[in-house]
C-alpha cells in the first residue's frame, strides 16, 4: 500500500492548484493524495498567527499530529502595499465577514477616493510537515488590485489581481497561464528545490 500525503485544505481552488504543482514539480509522486474532507470529525486548526508561514505550519502540524501522514498546507492572501499588512493573513476572514471578495474591494477602495487600482502583493506560504523534517516556503507576486473584477476563471480574488508584466487578471488567464504566474507557483518551486 502506498503512503499517504494529506493536503491540509478544504478550499477547492487551492486544492486543484496544489495537485497541479505536486505533479509539475514531481513532489511526492509515489504517494496517495488525501484531503481534509476525507478525515472524519478532526475539526480545524486555529490560524491565529501573524504571518502566512506560521499559519501554514499551524495547519500542517495540526493535521500531521492527528493523522501521522505527511501533510502539506498553504496559507495565502494579499496585501495592499499602502495599507501595512492588510488584509494579509486576514484575507479569507474579511471576505467571510463582508460577504464577498467584491465587498472587500469596495471597502478597501472606499478608503482611497476615486482610483481604479492599488499596488498589491500576493503571498503563498507552503508548509510541509513529515515525521522527520519540516519545510516552509514563501512565494510572492507583485501586481495591482483593481476595484471591479474582470474574468471568470480561477477562484477567490483572481478577478481582481493583475500580476506585474501582465495586462490580464488571474481570472482572465487560461488556467495554465495563471498556474505559472502565481505566488503559489513560486512557493512550490522553492519547495521542490529543497526536498
Q: Which of residues 94-133 bind ligand IMP (CB under 6 A)?
A: 95
d(CA 179, CA 157): 14
Q: Is 182 in the site for ligand IMP (CB under 6 A)?
A: yes
The catalytic residue among 30, 74, 75, 82 is: 75
CB of 147 to ligand IMP, least distance (A): 16
d(CA 149, CA 154): 12
Residue 126, Cβ neighbours under 10 Å: how many?
Answer: 28
Q: Is 157 in the site for ligand IMP (CB under 6 A)?
A: yes
Stretch that binds ligand IMP, among 20-28, 62-70, 74-82, 106-114 (CB under 6 A): 74-82
Q: Is 155 in the site for ligand IMP (CB under 6 A)?
A: yes
Residue 35, Cβ neighbours under 10 Å: how many?
Answer: 17
Is 158 catalytic? The answer is: no
Q: Which of residues 160-179 bind ligand IMP (CB under 6 A)?
A: 170
CB of 36 to ligand IMP, least distance (A): 12
Sheet holding 161-163, edge to edge: 32-35, 4-7, 70-80, 117-129, 134-146, 161-163
Q: Is 8 in the site for ligand IMP (CB under 6 A)?
A: no
Q: Is the dihedral of CA 53, 55, 60, 64 positive or negative?
A: positive
Q: Is 156 in the site for ligand IMP (CB under 6 A)?
A: yes
CB of 53 to ligand IMP, least distance (A): 12
Q: Is 91 in the site for ligand IMP (CB under 6 A)?
A: yes
Residue 193, Cβ neighbours under 10 Å: how many?
Answer: 9
DSSP 157: T
CB of 65 to ligand IMP, least distance (A): 19
CB of 114 to ligand IMP, least distance (A): 25
CB burial of residue 132 (10 Å; 0-12, 13-18, 19+): exposed
| Strand-pair category, 32-35 with 4-7 | parallel
Positions annotated as catalytic residues are: 75
Binding positions for ligand IMP, rule: CB under 6 A: 11, 75-77, 91-92, 95, 154-158, 170, 182, 184
Amino acid at each position: 500500500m502506498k503512503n499517504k500525503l494529506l493536503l491540509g485544505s478544504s478550499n477547492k481552488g487551492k486544492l486543484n492548484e496544489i495537485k497541479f504543482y505536486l505533479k509539475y514539480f514531481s513532489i511526492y509522486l509515489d504517494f496517495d493524495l488525501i484531503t481534509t474532507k476525507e478525515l472524519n470529525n478532526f475539526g480545524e486548526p486555529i490560524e491565529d498567527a501573524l504571518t502566512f508561514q506560521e499559519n501554514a505550519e499551524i495547519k500542517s502540524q495540526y493535521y500531521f499530529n492527528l493523522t501521522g501522514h505527511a501533510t502539506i498546507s498553504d496559507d495565502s492572501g494579499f496585501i495592499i502595499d499602502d495599507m501595512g499588512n492588510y488584509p494579509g493573513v486576514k484575507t479569507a476572514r474579511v471576505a467571510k465577514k463582508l460577504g464577498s471578495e467584491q465587498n472587500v474591494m469596495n471597502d478597501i477602495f472606499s478608503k482611497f477616493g476615486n482610483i481604479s487600482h492599488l499596488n498589491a502583493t500576493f503571498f503563498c506560504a507552503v508548509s510541509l510537515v513529515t515525521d522527520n523534517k519540516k519545510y516552509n516556503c514563501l512565494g510572492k507576486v507583485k501586481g495591482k488590485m483593481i476595484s471591479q473584477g474582470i474574468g471568470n476563471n480561477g477562484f477567490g480574488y483572481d478577478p481582481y489581481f493583475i500580476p506585474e508584466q501582465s495586462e490580464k487578471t488571474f481570472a482572465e488567464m487560461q488556467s495554465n497561464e495563471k498556474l505559472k504566474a502565481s505566488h503559489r507557483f513560486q512557493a512550490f518551486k522553492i519547495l521542490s528545490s529543497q526536498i
